[in-house]
Chain A
Amino acid sequence: EDKVVQSPLSLVVHEGDTVTLNCSYEVTNFRSLLWYKQEKKAPTFLFMLTSSGIEKKSGRLSSILDKKELSSILNITATQTGDSAIYLCAVVTSGTYKYIFGTGTRLKVLA
């Protein structure tokens, strides 16, 4: 059975801290891995990763995929209270383009 697991499940940090969120997967027919940020409504897209070892960066956020280890990390540097959200990792399968979401990491950044 396809599975995506994220860790930690929840995290509380102070503003300015750096955090690393993990996503590991076991899926057949891997196509890509995506990261989303979810606040009160629908998730918003952060990154899509298809190739191993190539870092994607957007401001204070960055992410990288390791296909050998079947995992990805999402880094957030100099965290701000606005980064407080649930961060979701999803793996997309080839063919059906089914998105399998991970358990999510709930991040809370304290002022």
Chain B
Amino acid sequence: GAVVSQHPSRVICKSGTSVKIECRSLDFQATTMFWYRQFPKQSLMLMATSNEGSKATYEQGVEKDKFLINHASLTLSTLTVTSAHPEDSSFYICSARLDTTIYFGEGSWLTVV
């Protein structure tokens, strides 16, 4: 089946710094990728839809200047959390669309200290 790789799986960063999370579709080309955030014991919250070659579409309430999304190629989307704060600590998951199915990455645990 289709594979989506997400890296890093865990990252700890200091407050005020930026951290980048990568999402790669390994064996297919994904024109659309999605980024989700999940707080402990809560469901997945869609942050943004990332389309290759164009600007991401952000969901209401998600700060586009804080969560920078780049989808530069058909196999790679990146999420950069800028000027991270402890409240940004969360589980971030990407997914990539192939035809009518999406495939999830393994997720990335971000801890901001």
What is the interface of chain A, defined by CB distance below 8 A to chain B? Answer: 6, 31-32, 41-43, 45, 48, 86, 88, 90, 92, 96-104, 106
- How far, in angstroms, from A48 to B102 measured CA to CA in the complex? 11
Given A96-B49, A99-B102, A43 and B44 contact (CB-CB distance below 8 Å): yes
B41 touches A106 (CB 8 A): yes
Question: Knowing A42-B105, A43-B44, A88-B43 touch, does A99 contact B95 (C-beta < 8 A)?
Answer: yes
Q: Which of A43, A98, A102 contacts B104 (CB 8 A)?
A: A43
B102 with A101: CB separation less than 8 A: no
Give the secondary structure class of B's interface: strand
Distance (whole angstroms) from the CB of A56 to the closest CB of chain B: 15
26 A-B Cβ contacts within 8 A? Answer: A31-B100, A41-B107, A42-B104, A42-B105, A42-B106, A43-B104, A45-B101, A86-B43, A88-B44, A90-B44, A96-B49, A97-B100, A97-B102, A98-B46, A99-B34, A99-B46, A99-B102, A100-B46, A101-B36, A101-B43, A101-B44, A102-B43, A103-B42, A103-B43, A104-B42, A106-B41
Q: How far apart sit A48 and B49, CA to CA, in the bound complex (Å)?
A: 21
- Kindly state whether residue B45 has any CB partner on chain A within 8 Å: yes
A106 CA to B49 CA, complexed, in Å: 27
A101 to B107, CA, bound (A): 16
Task: Find the B residue at minimum CB distance from A90.
Answer: B44
Which residues of B lie under 8 Å from residue A45 when comparing CB positions?
101
Contact B43 A42 (CB under 8 A): no
| Least CB distance, A9 to chain B, in whole angstroms | 9
The answer for the CA separation of A99 and B101 in the assembled complex, in Å, is: 10
Q: In the assembly, what is the distance between CA of A99 and CA of B107, in Å?
A: 17
Known A-B contacts: A43-B93, A90-B44. Give 12 more (CB < 8 A).
Answer: A32-B100, A42-B106, A43-B44, A43-B104, A86-B43, A97-B102, A98-B46, A99-B46, A101-B46, A102-B43, A103-B42, A103-B43
Chain B neighbourhood of A104, CB < 8 A: 42-43
Tell me the bound Cα distance from A101 to B101 in angstroms.
15
Is the C-beta of B7 less than 8 angstroms from some C-beta in chain A?
no
